């Protein structure tokens, strides 16, 4: 019995450096500019959920040091530190309360900045109130604030740029405070600074590890493992969010529903590996054609859905025709000595008024059925509902 030629897989073939970097999501780890909007919201929610207990801890923990300060400090200094600690505790309580609701990506980063600013502000103010001749027990209560602030970065899934920026700001603040106190050139200050740099390095690495794990979980939950496109659930959520934000002004949203012709026959004749190659080939073609706008996804089996956020029926149909023609003109390389020409049927529909996503896709599906009835390898448009 003849065996199917072995196709090199990702595990069996050596990956290039570029492929390894892509798998590591390196650009997404460096900065968040390329993050999908829904992942950005997911990460913001994840950060807020971690800000809340830390903010509550500050609100509860900061006043607990007051009895010792009233015992060791003169009354005027003790009153000043009490005001500082109660103000910091109040800010922590407000921060805890404000993170109960969705604050958006930028709002979340500002709240994270406030969380880090509270202990550093207390450290700065206390350094000017408490001189270095006080008992070590009291001085140590503030000496750890910079290190704890830097270490707190490790709790959050931050990009390299965010983590490095936060670390640099904290280190610069520490140096500025010690310089103002005339202690920057002392060996103990330089030793503390070196320790802060080491802690910052570990914290940024831990933050990147968390972000990498979150990205992998997000991709597993939202991406089709074969093609890398959005899966049906993730794509539907993205479109519904667009409809909620755009409302009636987003009536120009169009969808293209593709069905690869005779796909079951491809699997039966050439094997499932060949079928996978066809799906990967068409997914790459879709991504290339929609690189300037639009979101493709695997809708199920051999069906793909492309969402055009701003368009009209004429342009959507022209794009569908171009994709269909290109698919038929570019054979799929199956094995070293074999290739296969694939065609697709396409249904096109554009949103009317406040039409729901389900109704819009259903009209595209009706148009797709009309394309199959017409002989496949063609594009059909859904009629405007009356």
Contact 304, 297 (CB under 8 A): yes
Looking up tokens 């002989």 gives 375
Q: Which residues pair with 300 in a beta bridge?
A: 303
Task: Please give the radius of gyration of the chain, using alpha carbons only, rounded to the nearest integer.
Answer: 29
Residue 350 pairs in a beta bridge with 254
Count CB atoms within 10 A of the CB of residue 187: 7
Which residues are CB-neighbours of 348 under 8 A, at least 6 positions away?
254, 255, 256, 257, 313, 316, 317, 320, 364, 367, 379, 380, 381, 382
Catalytic-residue membership of 302: yes
DSSP H stretches of helix in 223-309: 232-246, 263-270, 272-289
Residue with tokens 């892509």: 22
H or E stretch covering 163: helix 160-180
Give me the residue label for tokens 């700001």: 169
- Say which of 4, 302, 325, 330 is annotated catalytic: 302
Angle between helix 232-246 and 357-373 (nearest 10): 120
Spatial distance between the Cα atoms of 144 and 61, rounded to a whole number of angstroms = 14
Tokens of 191: 């030793």
Cβ count near 217 (within 10 Å): 11
Q: What are the structure tokens assigned to 308, written together?
A: 């055009």
- Residues serving a catalytic function are 302
């Amino acid at each position: 019995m003849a065996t199917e030629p072995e196709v090199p897989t990702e595990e069996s073939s050596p990956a290039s450096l570029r492929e390894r970097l892509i798998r590591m999501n390196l650009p997404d780890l460096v900065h968040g500019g390329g993050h999908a909007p829904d992942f950005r919201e997911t990460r913001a929610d994840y950060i807020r959920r971690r800000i809340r207990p830390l903010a509550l801890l500050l609100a509860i923990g900061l006043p607990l040091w007051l009895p010792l300060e009233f015992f060791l400090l003169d009354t005027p200094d003790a009153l000043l530190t009490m005001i500082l600690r109660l103000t910091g505790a109040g800010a922590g309580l407000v921060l805890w309360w404000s993170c109960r609701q969705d604050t958006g990506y930028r709002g979340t980063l500002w709240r994270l900045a406030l969380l880090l600013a509270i202990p550093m502000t207390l450290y700065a103010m206390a350094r000017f109130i408490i001189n270095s001749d006080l008992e070590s027990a009291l001085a140590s209560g503030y000496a750890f604030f910079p290190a704890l602030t830097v270490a707190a970065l490790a709790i959050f899934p931050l990009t390299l740029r965010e983590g490095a920026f936060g670390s640099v700001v904290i280190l610069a603040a520490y140096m500025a405070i010690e310089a103002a106190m005339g202690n920057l050139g002392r060996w103990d200050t330089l030793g503390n600074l070196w320790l802060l740099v080491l802690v910052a390095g570990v914290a940024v690495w831990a933050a990147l590890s968390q972000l990498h794990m979150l990205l992998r979980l997000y991709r597993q939950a939202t991406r089709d493992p074969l093609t890398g496109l959005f899966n049906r659930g993730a794509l539907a959520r993205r479109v519904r969010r667009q409809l909620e934000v755009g409302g009636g002004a987003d009536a120009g949203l169009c969808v293209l529903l593709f069905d690869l012709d005779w796909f079951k026959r491809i699997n039966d004749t050439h094997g499932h590996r060949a079928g996978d190659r066809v799906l990967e080939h068409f997914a790459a073609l879709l991504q290339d054609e929609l690189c300037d706008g639009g979101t493709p996804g695997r809708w199920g089996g051999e069906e793909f859905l492309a969402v055009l956020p701003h368009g009209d029926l004429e342009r959507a149909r022209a794009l569908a025709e171009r994709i269909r023609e290109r698919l038929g003109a570019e054979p799929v390389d199956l094995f070293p000595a074999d290739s296969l020409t694939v065609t697709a049927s396409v249904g096109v529909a554009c949103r009317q008024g406040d039409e729901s996503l389900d109704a819009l896709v259903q009209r595209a599906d009706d148009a797709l059925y009309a394309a199959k009835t017409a002989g496949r390898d063609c594009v059909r448009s859904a009629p405007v509902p009356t």
